[in-house]
Every structure is written in structure tokens, then in C-alpha cells.
Amino acid sequence: MKFQELVARADTALSALMPTGTLTLVTAIDPKLAYPRNLIKVLLQLSPADVLLEDASTRNQLLLMLTPKEASALASRLSGQFRKSAYDFLTECKFKRISEKAVLFDFFELNVPHEDVLEQPLASVCVTPRFGLFAHQARALRKVELLLNIEPHRALLHMPTGSGKTRTAMNIVANYLRSREKGVVVWLAHSEELCEQAADEFTKAWNALGIRSVSLTRYWGAYDADLRDIEDGVVIAGLKKAYSRLRTDDHQIRSLCAKNPLVVMDEAHQAIAPTYQLIINQLMRPQSDARLLGLSATPGRTWNDPEADRELSAFFAGRKVSLQVDGFDNPVAYLISHGYLAEPKFVEIESSADLSLSQDEQRRIKESFELPETVLERLAVDEQRNLLVVHHAEQLLKRHQRVILFAASVQQSDILAAVLSARGLWAASITSKSPNGRAESIAAFKDNEDRPKILCNFGVLTTGFDAPQTSAALIARPTLSLVLYSQMVGRAMRGTEAGGNSHCEILTVVDTRLPGFKSVVEAFANWEDVWKESDE
């Protein structure tokens, strides 16, 4: 039978099923509500069917309203034989067993209610932060903050790719803003990808760590703002835009200087380039309270120019803070052993491409310690070298799902992608000359499609690009810059703890007349003679 039919039998006894005083209050508000059909609605609103049947007092009142036939039927379902009257049997039943409750509720065409289990909180639990740091990152943070508070308020944070450099820096930024009623942070980066990455990371950091609302100003590419209006917050500025504005309206940059900002230079090895050094010097007045933090995975400009490295060291007052981990001489080895970086396999592919250098090219290499574009362009069109690259790219795609190829020129990147596509492989080219469709190609490369894919590029994926599933890199772009080489290697070295892989493969085309690098561990260990490690 339906439960509502039973309740309707209560008639004048309905008030006894309600909390004391309910009928008096209902009648005073609206006398029409005292009619039985309305009182049933009020009753079931106050005490749903499961509540009335769970309470022994109201349940017994309702059971006594059953007809003798109905009472016997229910009692028989509960127990095949009963010696007492059906009414006595029913009213004495406690209905504690799940089976008894199931019979009772089924008799009235009701579903057995699910009991809410309230778990008692444990006496001690672990509370995980939303933007926390590992112990080695926190140790580096404390050292950096100590140095920034001591004149000349400059330091460089040296952390290898994949070790949480940006997250550590954003914790420093958050601490800086929290320690002041108002504060300004200027974050400088050379590419739009790096700028957007920094903006996203600060948003996540401040959402978790912030204590007040602050402004986040995008100042790169098409984004524009009046920097003079900024009083409290973070400015993410592209170096190209900042330099352009400095040349046309230096009051904008000078207005930030007056706020004694914390200046963060991403990819800090570029800080001593004349144009970028000018921007930083404009932001930091002599004897001011402004602070300068450099960030780099490889704190040097070259592999064989100690003078340039000494200049960079001097710019940051010779203060470098590196990751220090007990039991490991090199932090890269620690990061690999704990899954933060993938275990790399380095393979050198020798190329006998003609690299006869003109006197002018030799002079430019000696002066800049980088290969002139004319040399890169000659290598990019060398037929035998390109055949070698295509062959090894195809072999990598048999072993890996996601591969990044670093080409020697825009033209080579486009040609290699076209050839690989024509041979039935998924390949795309990303260069500074291909802004249209770049986002779509990167998104397709990052998706979870179970198909090997290779992304060819020149000059745009060394920094600010994150595709953790990438497990191989083919470096066909020769360089004398240890910084650039390490950045290229780093694109494929995300470990399992960072959503990447346990192992990765790095193929480097070695043009026999040019130096090459075999290990990112060796790369990380360079320049120690021109920096003072902080042990405070």
C-alpha cells in the first residue's frame, strides 16, 4: 500500500504525528491549513516518510492505523510465524536490522533511505599546499631571499630545466608582495610564450598564496598599459616592447623605477645584452631599495668565453644560488634519480657537411662565440646532411610518440616537416615566420592521439614551451652556446614526477668541425669558477 494512504487515515490524529505546537501555529497563520488534506502536506514537509518510520513513537502510531488484514500481512513478511497479535508484534519490533527495514519500507512502496555516514576526522592529517615547494626548492628560496635583502640586492637563481624554477620564483614574488602593504614586481622575458607562461603561473601562485587583490599587467606584443598607474601588483613585460617604449617614452619605465620594484629577469643569461641591460638599469636606481633576481637553467652566455661569463656574474654581484641536495654532488643527478627529469641517452650523429668558413665568419665567431646565420643557412641546405636528419627523424618516430626537431633555419624546418609529411608521418613546422596556425599545430602535438608526431622548429620552442610527453629531441641546429643547447635538450627531459617520461633520447647532429656537448650534467657544471655559491 502507499504510505500516503496510511497517513490519510490519521485524520484528527494528524497533530499527534507533528512536533508539539505545530497545529496551533499553522491554524493561526492560515485556518484553511488545518483541514486534514492540508495537514498531511504540512506533516510530510516537516517529517518525510522515512523520518516518521524511523522514529519508534510515530511509527507505532501509524502501524496501529493498519487494518487487521494489513497488519497480519506485514507481520507475516517480517516473520513467518508470530504468537502475539499482529499489532503487538509490529509495535514491539525495533526495525534495527537492515532486512526488517527493507520489508517495512517495501510494504509502503518506499525506498530504504541511505544513511549518511559521517566520518570522524582523524586526530592528525597531512594538509597539502596548492602551490607548495619541495625541500630543495624551499632551501633555494630562503637563500635567494636572504641575498636580496643584502646590498646590492642582486642574486641569480640557478635551477636546471624541469626542477621548478618558475614555481620557486613565483613563491619569492608572492613573499615579496605579502611582506609589503603595496609592492611592484616587474617580470622581464624575451618571448611572448615566456610572458604568457609567467602570467599563468603568477595567477595560480597568488590564488593560493595571496593576501589581497593585486593587479596583473600584461605588457608584451599587442598588450598595452599605462605603467604610471601601477601601484600594487605584477607587470609581465616583454623585453622587446619595454625597450621600444623606453626609446619613445622613458617616463613609463622610470615610473616603475620610483616604486623600488623587485625585477625578475627570466633567462637571465641575456641580462648583459646592451639593450636589456639598459632596461634593467632604468628600473633599478643606484642606492635604491629595488631588487634584481635572475633566473636561469644555465647561468652563462657561452661555453668558451670566460670573460662574458665573468661579466654576467658581476652583473648579479657574483651571487648564484643553486639547488643543493644532501647525498648528491650534482642536482641534475638527484632530479633524474627521483623522476623529476628523464634519464637521458645522448647520441651523436656525425656529419661531414662542408663547413669551410670565410675569414669574416671566423672573425664573427671569435667576437660573438655564436655561429653566423650564413653558416647555419649553408648547413640547412646541405643535401647529405638533410638526408641524415630525415633518416634519424624517422627512426626516432618508430621508438617515440612525441619528438621535437631543432632545425638550423626557418627554411630547413619547413622543408623537413614537408618531407616527413609527404612520407606519411605527422609533422609540422613552427617558426617565427609562421604565427598563423602555430597554436593549432602545438595543440595537435600536445594532444593524446595515439600516433607518433614530430614538431620541427627554428628559434621558437627552446623556452616557454611545455609538452611533457615529449621523449626525444633531434638537434640539427649547431650552436656554440651551452645555454641554447641545454634549453633544446630540456624540452625532452621532463620526468615522470612532472608528467613526462622515465627515459628520453637526445640525438645531436655533430658537424665535425664544430664542438658539441654530450651531457646536460656537464652543461650544468660549467662556469663554477666565476660564481660564488651561497652557503648562508
Q: What is the CATH number of the domain that holds 179?
A: 3.40.50.300
- Whether 277 and 315 have beta carbons less than 8 Å apart is answered as yes
Helices 135-148 and 165-178: crossing angle in degrees, nearest 10, is 50
pLDDT for 529 beyond 70: no
- CA dist 457 and 478 (Å) reads 14
Q: Same domain, yes or no, for 236 and 366?
A: no
Q: Same domain, yes or no, for 204 and 293?
A: yes
Is residue 308, in this structure, part of any structural domain at all? no
Is residue 102, in this structure, part of any structural domain at all? yes
Q: Same domain, yes or no, for 271 and 378?
A: no
Whose grid coordinates read 633518416? 391
Q: What is the pLDDT of residue 366?
A: 62
Q: Which residue has the higher pLDDT, 269 or 290?
A: 290
β-bridge partners, 187: 236, 264
Is residue 360, in this structure, part of any structural domain at all? yes
Pick the range with the lowest mean pLDDT from 34-48, 81-95, 332-346: 34-48
b/e map 185-216, b = 16+ CB within 10 Å: bbbbbbbbbbbbbbbebbeebbeebeeeebee
Residue 222 domain boundaries: 135-297
Q: Same domain, yes or no, for 163 and 260?
A: yes
Angle at 502 between CA 499 and CA 506, to 5 degrees: 105
Segment 114-143, tens digit of pLDDT? 766 667 888 999 998 999 998 889 999 999
The residue among 297, 331, 351 that closes a domain is: 297
State the average pLDDT over residues 341-355.
84
Is residue 227, in this structure, part of any structural domain at all? yes
Segment 254-287, tens digit of pLDDT? 899 999 999 999 988 888 888 899 999 999 988 7
Grade residue 527 by pLDDT with cuts at 50, 70 and 90: very low
Q: Kindly report whether the global pTM for this prediction surpasses the value 0.85.
A: no
β-bridge partners, 504: 344
State the average pLDDT over residues 371-396.
88
Among residues of the chain, what percentage have pLDDT more than 70?
Answer: 90
Is residue 320, in this structure, part of any structural domain at all? no
Q: What is the pLDDT of residue 115?
A: 66
Helices 373-380 and 410-422: crossing angle in degrees, nearest 10, is 20
Provide the domain count of the chain. 3
Q: Same domain, yes or no, for 403 and 442?
A: yes
Q: Same domain, yes or no, for 103 and 144?
A: no
Q: Same domain, yes or no, for 517 and 380?
A: yes
Is residue 450, in this structure, part of any structural domain at all? yes
